[in-house]
Amino acid sequence: MKPNSQDLPLVYSCSGCSSAAQMANYLAVKLDRLGEAEMSCIVGVGGNVKKLVKTATSGRKMIVIDGCPLTCSKACLSQHDLEPTLHFELSKFQVKKKNHEDFDPQQADEILEMIKKEIKNLSK
């Protein structure tokens, strides 16, 4: 039985132009599609779109995946005094930020497994 989406943590990610940013977005999409979290739009939160800010401020647990030390997604949430429950900054996983290149899918899948374990620990 699929969990009610309201019971899932929200997941936000950057989705910039670098390989690290695209990996962050890939990981968030995978978590959404696997039913581990519900992805929402960080640009809408940063852009102060009412409906998306309402979702972000709903009190649900939040997972944020940023590709690099700029932590843009986390910064978007902080505009609304929100702190993520879990924050993953991919450079801490030895993910290199490269422009005009794709991310390493094998590395992404390894990181995905680590993130899934952390999410499971949230519900304990």
Report residue 2's pLDDT band, with 50, 70 and 90 as the boundaries.
low
* Residue 52 included in any domain: yes
* Residue 92 included in any domain: yes
Tokens of 71: 């932590």
* Residue 82 included in any domain: yes
Tally of domains within the chain: 1
* Residue 69 included in any domain: yes
pLDDT, tens only, 45-72: 999 999 999 999 999 999 999 999 999 9
* CA distance readout (Å), 31 to 70, 74, 88: 22, 18, 13
**Collapsed DSSP state (helix, strand, coil) of residue 87:** strand
pLDDT, tens only, 72-118: 999 999 999 999 999 999 999 999 999 999 999 999 999 999 999 99
- Boundaries of domain holding 16: 7-119
**124 burial class (0-12, 13-18, 19+ CB within 10 angstroms)?**
exposed
* Residue 124 included in any domain: no
**pTM for the full predicted model:** 0.94
* Residue 95 included in any domain: yes
* Residue 30 included in any domain: yes
* Residue 2 included in any domain: no
**Collapsed DSSP state (helix, strand, coil) of residue 115:** helix
